[in-house]
Structure 1
Amino acid sequence: MFAKDSGLLQGTLELLVLKTLSWGPMHGYGIASWIETATGDVLRVEEGSLYPALYRMTRKGWITGAWGTSENNRKAKFYALTPDGRREYQEQTTGWQRFAAAVNQAVTSTTAPSWAR
């Protein structure tokens, strides 16, 4: 599950997309590339996961999409955060930090459960 080429844990893709777009508008390939680079090549976002997430997030009003020209002169859809998306990013970031801290606390615990004593 946590191998180098593992997929994204359920529920993290939207947060990672929101984080990527917090830097500014970007097309799908750029979003996937940034996530891969930012995670030290541990997480890969496949097209079959990314584009449904982008469509879902657009329907929720968190992002908008507009056609433009990519850095290699190709037509691409660029996604950007909306004000609702920025609020959602803040909420999800807070929730993720609490979740990650709780999991870390559990996996580093040196106190055995009462039934294991």
Structure 2
Amino acid sequence: MSDSTARLLRGFLEPCLLALLEGGADYGLSLARRLSAAGLREIPGGSLYPALTRLERRGLVTTSTRPSTTGPARKYYELTAAGHAELADRREEWRAFRAAFSAVLEGATTSAEVNA
């Protein structure tokens, strides 16, 4: 993972996790694989699990332990009602941020438009 990707991910990992959990409960390794499959490369456990713990402490996810057919029991994370509400808020923030960032980065906003 590049340094710039790592820096961006710090601010976006939690909303990404909320979005992945919107479809139902999942466990840490599976979430890491899904993030990687989405193009975020490998998310180290030292970033992933603290983010999940923060979400749990904030009441946005609940956890349960379920047996695994391939090893020890797994800790599953699931969105709470507050987690669904937070995800909706984060999506709205993302849309506004994306539009503003694109306007600046892609040069859609000129000084003449700002001074008008």
Q: Give the number of the structure whose residues are more often helix, by fraction.
A: 2
**2:103–2:109 Cα contact (<8 Å) kept:** no
SS class of match (1:76):
strand
Aligned residue for 1:11, secondary structure, equals: helix
State the alpha-carbon separation in 1 of the partners of residues 80 and 54 from structure 2.
Answer: 14
The alignment's C-alpha RMSD in Å is 2.3
Structure 1: how far apart are the matches of 2:20 and 2:11?
15
TM-score (norm 2): 0.83
Kindly indicate whether the alpha-carbon contact (under 8 Å) linking 2:102 and 2:108 is maintained by their aligned counterparts in 1: no
Equivalents in 2 of 1:66, 1:53: separation in Å? Answer: 17
Verify: 1:86 aligned to 2:88, yes or no: no
Partners of 2:86 and 2:59 in 1: CA distance: 10
Residue 29 in 1 paired to residue 22 in 2?
Answer: no
Q: Gaps spanning 5+ residues in structure 2: where?
A: none
Between the aligned partners of 2:15 and 2:5, the Cα distance in structure 1 is: 17
Deviation at 1:57, TM superposition (A): 0.7
Residues 91 and 23 of structure 1, relative CA distance in 2, 3 Å threshold = same
Residue in 2 that maps onto 1:16: 16
The offset of 1:45, in angstroms, is 1.5
Residues in 1 aligned to 2:13 and 2:32: alpha-carbon distance in whole angstroms? 10
Q: For residue 15 of structure 1, what is the amino acid of its counterpart?
A: P
The Cα of 1:70 is off from its aligned counterpart by: 3.5
Matched, 1:55 2:63: no
Shift in alpha-carbon separation, 1:15–1:105, aligned structure 2, 3 A? same
State the partner residue of 2:99.
Answer: 101
Asked if structure 2 preserves the Cα contact closer than 8 Å seen for 1:69 and 1:76, the reply is yes
Alpha-carbon distance in 1 for matches of 2:66, 2:83: 21
- The count of aligned residue pairs is 111
- Deviations 1:45-70 (Å, cap 9, x if unpaired)? 11001111111110100000110124
Kindly provide the amino acid, as one letter, of the partner of residue 29 in structure 2: Y
